[in-house]
Structures are given as C-alpha cells and as structure tokens.
Amino acid sequence: MAAEQSPQAPATPSGDTRIHNIGYRSYDGPRLGRSYARMSLYSQSLRGAYGLGRSAKSKVLPMLLFVVMCVPAAIMVAVAVATKAKELPLDYTRYAIVMQAVISLYVASQAPQSVSRDLRFKTVPLYFSRPIETGDYVRAKYAALASALFILTAAPLLVLYVGALLAKLDFTDQTKGFAQGLVSVALLSLLFAGIGLVIASVTPRRGFGIAAVIAVLTISYGAVSTLQAIADVQGSGDAGILIGLFSPITLIDGVQSAYLGASSAFPGGVGPDRTEGILFVLVTLGLIVASHALLMRRYKKVGL
Amino acid sequence: MDVTVIATESLSKRFPRVTALDRLSVDVGPGVTGLVGANGAGKSTLIKILLGLSPATEGRAEVLGLDVATEGAAIRERVGYMPEHDCLPPDVSATEFVVHMARMSGLPATAARERTADTLRHVGLYEERYRPIGGYSTGMKQRVKLAQALVHDPQLVFLDEPTNGLDPVGRDEMLGLIRRIHTDFGISVLVTSHLLGELERTCDHVVVVDGGKLLRSSSTRDFTQTTTTLAIEVTDTDEHPDGTRAVREALHARGVTVQDGSGLPGAGHILLLTAQGEDTYDLVRDVIADLGLGLVRMEQRRHQIAEVFTNDTDDAQRKEAVGHGG
C-alpha cells in the first residue's frame, strides 16, 4: 500500500529516498473511442459469461455446464477409439439437439447475468453517458452471449472431431460433418442468445429472468414435440413438421435436416424437405433479426 | 467569464404532459457551478440534453463548444457523469468496476488501470477498493460513483445530487472533494442540488432553475462576501446564568446587531450576526473571552444564499424556489 499512498506523503529529504507529492495527473494519452469501447464491453461480457472477472461463486455454474457439455463427447471418442468403430456414435449435428437441456440451462443462467444486472443496479446510464450508443451496447451484449454459446456448443464438436481423427475415421466425412455441425451450432447460438437476452432484458430481477428463459425454451419444446407426436400418430406428417417452427430447438433441427445433412429428431426421423426447409431458415433468421430489434427498442427506452 | 463551458439558448424540452425546460438560456464558465432547483425543476433533464442523450424540443445547447444535437459522442468522451441514483453492481470491487468504466470511455487497458488507481486514491478510497462494492458505506459508494466520472480525466463533470443520502460529515467531505475537482484537478464541475445553501461554499457560480425556467444565474462571490452570517452558541456560567443574553448585550454595546436564531434547532441558545470581515470573528472571540463563557460553536450559517434571494427579490415565484431550496 505504501507505493499507492506515497504521492500524498510529504517530501522526506532524508538520504536518497525522496517522495514527491505529484498530486493530480491529467491524462494526455490516446482515447480509443466507440469501437474500442464496444470491443471492451464485448470481451468483458464474454468473459463474464464464464464467470471470469467475477466472483468464484459465479464461475461454478457456467464452468460446470461447460464440462457437462464436453464429457459425453469425450466418452464417445474414448469408446470409438477403444472399439475401433467405423463411425462416431452420434452425428456432429445431433450433439446439440441431444444436449439441449444443458444449453437451455446455460442461456437461462447467463442471459440474465449479462443484461439484468446492468438494469437492476442501474449501471446502464453509466454506459450511455460514455461514447457508446444504444446499438453498440446491444450488439456487444448480443455478440458476447452468442460467442459464449458457440464456445459451449462447438467445444464438444471439436472434441469429437479430434477424437475421430485420432481413431483414424474417414477424414473427408468427419471434416464435412464437423463443418456442418459448426454451422448448425453457430445458428443455434445466435437464436438462443437472442431469445434469452430479449426475455432477460425485460426484467431487472435475475430470478425471474432465469425462470422465464427456462420456461420459454422448455415449454415451447415440450408443446411442439407433443403435438408432433400426436400428428405423427394421426398420420398427418406434414402438419407435424410445420409445428416444428414453433420452438427454437426444433427450428434448428429443421434447418439442419433440410440443409446440413442431419438426421432429424422429429417423430419418425422425417424432417422438413428442402422446400419446407426454406420456411425454417426464414423463421430462424426472422427471430434473430427480431430479437435484435426488440433489444434496440428496449434500450432506447432505458437511457439515463 | 472568458471561456464558456456550457451555453444554452432558449432550450426547451416538452414531454406530452409536462414542460421540463422552458426556454432556458444560460452561459456557464469554467469552475464549479451549482445548478439549484427543487426536485422536478428540470435539472436532470438538462443534464441529459447536455450529454446529447435526449434531443431538445427547441433551442440549442453547446458543451465545450460542441453542439449537443450533433456531437453527442464527442461530448461524452470529454465529460464525466455521476448519476443521482445508485449505479454500482455490488459483486465487483471498486477497482474492477472503475477500470471497466475507464475502458468504456476509451482508455487503453494499461492507462485504465493506472488512472483507476490514481482516481480512487484522489477520491479517498484506499485498501477497501479491492473489496466488493456491496459492502461499502453510502459515502464510499458516492466516492466510487465520483471516481468513475473522473477516471478518464474529463474537461467537465456533471454531478447529479452528489451529497444525497450523506450524513453532515460525509456531505462536507464530498463538497470539499468537489471543490478540489476544480482547484486541484483543473476539471470544471456542474453540480446539482435541491439544497441551495449547500452550494454556497463550494461553487463559484450558482444557477437557479424552477419549473424549467431560469430564475437566477450569478456568481456566489457577488453576494456571499458582504453577508456572511455567523451562528454562535455559548455556555452558561454561574456569573452569567444566561450566557446567550450576556453575549447579545455585550455585542450590542459594541454596535453589532444580533438576532435570535428563532426557527433553528436550539433556538434561544443561538445568536446570529452578520460578519463584516475578519474583525467580527475577533470581536466575538474577545467578547466571549471577556465574559468568561465557553464558546460551543461559531460557524458560518448554511442556506444563506437563500436569504440573499429572498431579500432582493420582489418576484413571488423566485421566493417559492428559494423556499424549495431551503
């Protein structure tokens, strides 16, 4: 502490040690402006999504979920290597669908952390009294959560891919599957981050935010898969497929079964064909754009 | 006033139901300027417009020579803002928080850390700055709020009700700090308060607004010098069972007009007199010493700008504002 307080101490002329009161120093260095501030907010929010730079307690959940996401991939790889399997037990594109509960839990815990805190503790005005604008704040927060989700969903795919190469599986097949998986989880990250942030930004209460995000993600999926099962039993397969437009995870499932060579988790394993797939892509992109627009609207109102 | 820090010209802000600012024209120079008005007088609205965050309905304003309507981002890079309300997350330390805010103002990482250490020290936060803000007292939180407004070395800071919620000692410390922001740091200050008297020692200039209109804009020096009011309280002794009366009579004999501090806490034991420079202080000291009484306190009275306004105004509206201020 001595070093910190020394400038205030009086000058002591004894010997060589001489402490000067340097008083207030003005800052003449560079001011890096808006884009730098936006990047700083992005990196701070991204780190925060894994509890980095926050208390030890807030690291527990995101880190735990990250491990939970990766462990099954590691086990699959171990099994594939040990049994000298011809292919991985699970497609790259299916992984996120199977692990959707973990992903939903992550979004539900980290989206409110990212935006509700600033609202609850009224930190938002401090941001907007600085060079950044509403759009910068929204985009930084959105990009940060989407990146965090991408890390969460792409890491196990990377584990699978590296493992598959170690198991000397077909390189071309594996690389293609891995690439398709990455595109799919990128889309999923954008969609889930958008939905999570929109819900979380409505309430300054973190608990409500967590509950609301979980509710929206699980209830929509529960309702959609139930209706799809009923439609399947009644033999109206087309209607069942289109019901898939109404929950985020079935949307992604639809997009990847139509375009990314994925096997669908829809009843009977029949996903949308390429024509129906257009609808899934449009709705997915529409939701991402709408999330962004809603966040912009929300923060225009917050202001100071 | 050679340089203008803030200039507004018939600045108006109307909301559907209420007019927050009504053709406000005021020039503010460097130094510490108090913006006084009752709650809802338009102070916070004015700050929002000056930060370029809320467009004015009509009129124009410039901050540091930059137009608020078109150069908001440039203004916000050069000014600091301390909000009235709580704005600190409880789970991070003051250091982490202020470093982050410095980077949000565009300071590179290393500079942000250095400036944070410097600024927190200047506002009077030492070892506690590594602890989570949630455990801080109100006074310490106010200092963190002030630090985040100063960390990027702005040319001007807006402080919205910085003494809110502080006890008398905390208030005095905060006011002293505000004074230093200008004298030691060379940063101009616009400080708002609904307490007119609070700003008398701190500000070079006071702007009074009410109902969005300018009531008065004047230098504090213009009137404080001639009318410093002293409050005196003395003990009683066996020789003078009513010490207050004894002092009053003794002072009266020396030709000093003394009033009772009626309406003040401890009325009957407090004497008010108008100080005519340093001599008055010596006179009071001598009189009390001669009588053998103990001097409990002798202080410059607060709310005294309010009296100046009351005395020289014939405008009922003006009086009303002063009433709010007191």
Residue A244 lies in a domain: yes
Residue A141 lies in a domain: yes
CB-based contact B107 A31, cutoff 8 Å: yes
Q: Is the dihedral of CA A255, A261, A267, A270 positive or negative?
A: positive
Enumerate domains of chain B plus CATH numbers: 6-224 (3.40.50.300), 228-300 (3.30.70.100)
Kindly state the average pLDDT of the residues A142-165: 96
Whether A92 has a pLDDT exceeding 90, the answer reads yes
Mutant choice from A36, A40, A134 vs B, greatest count of B C-beta within 10 A: A40
Interface predicted TM-score of the whole assembly (ipTM), two decimals: 0.85
pLDDT at A224: 93
pLDDT for A176-220, tens place per residue? 999 999 999 999 999 999 999 999 999 888 889 999 999 999 999
Task: Give chain B's mean pLDDT.
Answer: 84
pLDDT at A17: 64
Of A26, A33, A304, Cβ closest to residue B53:
A304
Nearest chain A residue (CA) to B146 = A126
Kindly state the average pLDDT of the residues B237-265: 78
Q: How far is A263 from chain B (nearest CA, A)?
A: 45
Interchain CB contact of A17 with B (< 8 Å): no
Angle (CA) B98-B100-B102 rounded to 5° is 70
CA distance A167 to A130: 53
Whether B104 has a pLDDT exceeding 90, the answer reads yes
pLDDT for B195-211, tens place per residue? 777 787 789 898 988 88
pLDDT for B67-80, tens place per residue? 999 999 899 999 99
Of B47, B103, B122, Cβ closest to residue A24:
B122
pLDDT at B236: 83
Interchain CB contact of A301 with B (< 8 Å): no
pLDDT at A24: 87
Residue A32 lies in a domain: no
Whether A4 has a pLDDT exceeding 50, the answer reads no
Confidence of residue B313 (pLDDT cuts 50, 70, 90): very low
Nearest chain B residue (CA) to A122 = B87
**Domain limits at A289?**
47-302
Residue A178 in tokens:
């891995």
Residue B99 in tokens:
């470093």
Task: Give chain A's mean pLDDT.
Answer: 89
CA distance A244 to B222: 76
pLDDT for A218-227, tens place per residue? 999 999 999 9
Q: How many domains does chain A have?
A: 1
Least Cα distance to A77 among A157, A179, A196 occurs for A157
Q: Which chain A residues touch B186 with a CB distance below 8 Å?
A: 24, 26
pLDDT at A18: 61
Tokens 């370029």, located at residue = B52
Q: How far is B142 from chain A (nearest CA, A)?
A: 14
